[in-house]
Amino acid sequence: MDNNSTLTKQFFASLADRVYNENRLSDITWVMCQISDDFKFSFVNFFFEDLEKEDCRIIEIEREIQQDEGRPDFYFEFDNKVFLIENKINDRNHHFHQYLQTCKDPSYLGYITNYTIKDEDDINENGNVNKWKELYNEGFRVHTWEEFYDYMKTSMEKDPYTLNEEERSLWEGYLVYVKKVCSIIKINKVMKLDGLYSLYSFVAILKKLCCEVNGSKFTISYFKEGQVDKEKCECGNNGVIFRLIYNSDPEKIIWGWIGVYYNLENVKPQIWIGFSKKDSWGKKYIDKLGHNKLIEGQTFELPYYENNALWFKLNEKQMNVFEKAIKVEEQEVILKEFMEEVINYPEALKVKA
């Protein structure tokens, strides 16, 4: 993966944390249609298969054109016909037949949601209950965002040379955005539950250590179990939130997190400690670092800032020892030394500065 592709994905992933509602998803999808004819064709053709690629090049998609019955998210005309596409994110207030006043035919209305709607009930304007299956039969082009996500991924993989490197990077970033905003989670491997006790044990040991890892210059205590969103993706992690007080400044309470990330399919689980930059969380820890240059430690790799937090990762050497340990006490020592070194890190940086 090239650096531009990685940066584009990170941009869209971060964007999804700030710009994530129904209208914003429609806005960003519309922008994609404006800057890429190939994307516009793929988006339109997903709903209306009869439209050819050359047809889509001359289509002008408009956003929220006011109609008597409302403002559909996407509007375009072709061959003297009006086509609409409506986007729904968690909103189950549907107006299928209302839009027919504009597009005239069910097959000209595309409908896309972030939830499965095929077997749900919809009460229309007349109070009648229509099955989604009946709406399909009537010709409405009803889909989910996950179906669109799969469709786009398949299109990219089926003909990898159609898109240039720049455009492929943009599509990949957009799909990262859609995946996060629409809560699309892809699980491709059969689950094995026989190893989950280790996860319970890991968190239990962290709770225990939060009561035992206390030095002459600090005190920590267990607060609660918690998940964090380090890389702005699905929260595939477990850990604990702890309270940290330095004896030199007992009035300032610092909140930190330690836990394990296991959300990447082909990557071994990773153990992290993190401090948020937010005032009421970990900012006081970060302030203690001053302007000193960050360096790696004996137990952790070079710390870095990501998504408004400072992160420490248990290094590969220590991780290998942890995994090969025969006794749980040996693993406890590794975690304890990791926690102690991170907590003492601000003082150690001042000494080395």
pLDDT of residue 186: 78
Residue 61 has pLDDT above 90, yes or no: yes
pLDDT of residue 235: 61
Q: How far is CA 117 from CA 133, 143, 251, 305, in A?
A: 9, 8, 53, 41
pLDDT of residue 11: 93
- For residues 94 and 169, state if they share a domain: yes
- For residues 171 and 296, state if they share a domain: no
Assigned token pair, 76: 């375009």
Answer yes or no: is 252 within a domain. Answer: yes
- For residues 154 and 216, state if they share a domain: no
- For residues 114 and 205, state if they share a domain: no
pLDDT of residue 107: 80
Q: Which of 153, 181, 209 is the last residue of a domain?
A: 181
Digit-coded pLDDT (tens) for 212-253: 887 788 999 988 887 666 544 446 788 999 999 998 888 889
- For residues 27 and 148, state if they share a domain: yes
β-pairing verdict for 121-123 and 74-78: unpaired
- For residues 245 and 123, state if they share a domain: no
Judge contact between 36 and 170, C-beta under 8 A: yes
Residue 123 has pLDDT above 60, yes or no: no
Answer yes or no: is 18 within a domain. Answer: yes
β-pairing verdict for 121-123 and 129-131: antiparallel
- For residues 226 and 142, state if they share a domain: no
- For residues 200 and 177, state if they share a domain: no
Judge contact between 112 and 85, C-beta under 8 A: yes
Q: Which residues contact 301 (CB under 8 A, 6 or more apart)?
A: 312, 313, 314, 315, 316
- For residues 96 and 202, state if they share a domain: no
Domain count, the chain: 2
125 band by pLDDT with thresholds 50, 70 and 90: very low
User: Nearest-CA neighbor of 76 among 140, 28, 38, 33?
Assistant: 33
- φ, ψ of residue 298 to 5 degrees: the values are -70, -30
- For residues 136 and 222, state if they share a domain: no
Query: What distance in Å separates the CA atoms of residue 3 and residue 29, rounded to the nearest whole number?
Result: 24
- For residues 288 and 152, state if they share a domain: no
User: Nearest-CA neighbor of 187 among 119, 234, 226?
Assistant: 234
- For residues 224 and 146, state if they share a domain: no
Answer yes or no: is 187 within a domain. Answer: no
Q: Which of 156, 181, 206 is the last residue of a domain?
A: 181
Residue 268 has pLDDT above 90, yes or no: no
Judge contact between 242 and 210, C-beta under 8 A: yes
Rounded to an integer, the average pLDDT of 302-331 is 93
103 band by pLDDT with thresholds 50, 70 and 90: confident
Q: Which domain holds residue 339?
A: 196-352
Digit-coded pLDDT (tens) for 2-49: 566 788 998 998 898 888 889 999 999 999 999 999 999 999 999 999
Highest mean pLDDT among 130-139, 269-278, 344-353: 269-278
Answer yes or no: is 153 within a domain. Answer: yes
